[in-house]
Amino acid sequence: MSYFVYMLRCSDGTLYTGYTDDPQRRLGVHHRGKRAKYTRSRLPVELVYTEACPDKSAALRREIALKKLTRQEKLALIAGKEAT
């Protein structure tokens, strides 16, 4: 089973990072206002980045690493550039 780390752009312009085994299903969960309290009050959300990981452990590690990036680094990653 593959896992993914993903980023959403919320309606207020903020970015949300998470992991899942199915990005499209998870996006639907966000749109219904379920599970993630952060995005619930910032709907609608847009899926702007996904990255495949070999397993759940790798996805969790990558999620933590992405959350440590600055906003500018996240935006560069979303734009397809290498984050520093």
d(CA 74, CA 81): 9
Q: Give me the CATH number covering residue 36.
A: 3.40.1440.10
Residue 56 located in a structural domain = yes
**Could you tell me how many helices (H) and strands (E) the chain has, helices first?**
4, 3
In tens, the pLDDT along 30-48 reads: 999 888 899 999 999 999 9
Tens place of pLDDT per residue across the chain (84 aa): 799 999 999 999 999 999 999 999 999 999 998 888 999 999 999 999 999 999 999 999 999 999 999 999 999 999 986 544
Domain that holds residue 17: 3-78
Report residue 40 as tokens.
């619930």
pTM value is 0.90
Whole-angstrom CA distances from 76 to 20, 68, 82 are 22, 14, 7
Domain count, the chain: 1
The radius of gyration of the chain from alpha carbons, rounded to an integer in Å, stands at 12
Contact in structure between 24 and 32 (CB atoms under 8 Å): no
